[in-house]
Amino acid sequence: MRFAVEQWSPEYGNPGEPSLAEPAIEPDLDVEVPAGRWAPITPPPERARPDVLFVDGVRRVDASVWIETDDEGAALGLCATYAAGAVRCNGSAELVAAEVRRGLFTSAPTAARIETRHARYEVATTTGTRPEELWLGIQQRMGELEGLVAAAAAGVGLVLVDGPLSHRRHVPEAVGYVKTQHVQYLPNDQQALLRSLRPGQRTPLFLIGGAWNRFSWYLRLPGGGNQIGPAGLVRAEMSADLSPAAAAAKADLVTATLPRFASSPHKEPRAPQNLYPIAGLERALRRRLGDPALLYRELARSASALSGK
């Protein structure tokens, strides 16, 4: 396979990450409390769990490449490195899993594995040809790797995965943690309740349908400052395989547990939503992605060697 590396460095040429949020879906608001009687819920502090497993992933495009096709054209590909890991917090934080993968994300039928002196990029076939579509392929593979890591490292009472559950919903006890709100799930009458939440409080449960059913709720973390905006407001979700009563008990557990992990602005720019264990896990995983400048040079050298054949 002949290919050429895009001359622009990836940090300047990467597409903006596409939003993976689902279209707004009318939720069932009457799961825990009738919609007309919604009010903030304050779980008792003794519901907090001391033992929590945090799971997250990171990804990076090492180079954009153009792959020669049979019709003498060229198809876009992204050489990417992605990783997933888990950190367990039980009085102290311990990195218990870290997995790194590399792939050539493309829909080119002529694509083949790229070997360099320092890395191997296996073909990861995607649909579409636009950069955003290839990015979705990276996101999907990273989510699958997070699911494998979470399943292998599970065994604690609470498993929190950063982002929607999606590919990790098969993991027992898993709860998705969504810190950026791209979709508005609640109607206007319930939106006012979000603004009234105090740190450590949550909304009642609601049920979201769509690709798969899950219970969800909003909660507010401490350290968000002014409550008029979304600062400190996050959404959590879990499988709808639980009964409403069991789901409500777990929502209390999560809401009582997370405030102690909320970050502070002087240590974390995405405070308080980017929890300390997740921020630390992201840093540990990024260190394992390898030197981006070295990987880029090796991909360019490999492309040059193939073009000379």
Question: Is 254 inside any structural domain?
Answer: yes
* C-beta of residue 183 within 8 angstroms of C-beta of residue 24: yes
Give domain status of residue 308, yes or no.
no
201-215: pLDDT as tens digits = 999 999 999 878 999
pLDDT at 244: 95
Contacts of 256 (CB under 8 A, 6+ apart): 43, 44, 45, 46, 47, 48, 200
Looking at the chain, the whole-number percentage of residues with pLDDT higher than 70 is 91
In a domain, 285, yes or no: yes
Domain hosting residue 42, numbered range = 3-302
Residue 307 lies in a domain: no
What would the pLDDT profile of 58-116 be if each residue is shown by its tens digit?
A: 999 999 999 998 887 899 999 999 999 999 999 899 999 999 999 999 999 999 999 99
pLDDT at 20 over 60: no
Tell whether the model's pLDDT for residue 300 goes beyond 70.
yes
Label residue 151 by pLDDT band (50, 70, 90): confident
Q: Give SS3 for 34.
A: coil
Cα dihedral value 119, 138, 147, 162, nearest 10: 110
Q: Which residue has the higher pLDDT, 180 or 214?
A: 214
What is the reported pTM? Answer: 0.89
Looking at the domain assignment, is residue 293 inside a domain? yes
Q: What is the mean pLDDT of the chain?
A: 89
Number of independent structural domains in the chain: 1
Task: Give yes or no for a contact between 121 and 104, defined as CB atoms under 8 angstroms apart.
Answer: yes
The rounded distance, in Å, linking the Cα atoms of 172 and 213 is: 16
Residue 309 within a domain: no
User: Torsion-angle region of residue 308: left (phi > 0), alpha (psi -120 to 50) or beta?
Assistant: alpha
Torsion angle of alpha carbons 238, 239, 244, 246, nearest 10°?
Answer: -70
Q: Strand 114-115 and strand 3-5: pairing?
A: unpaired
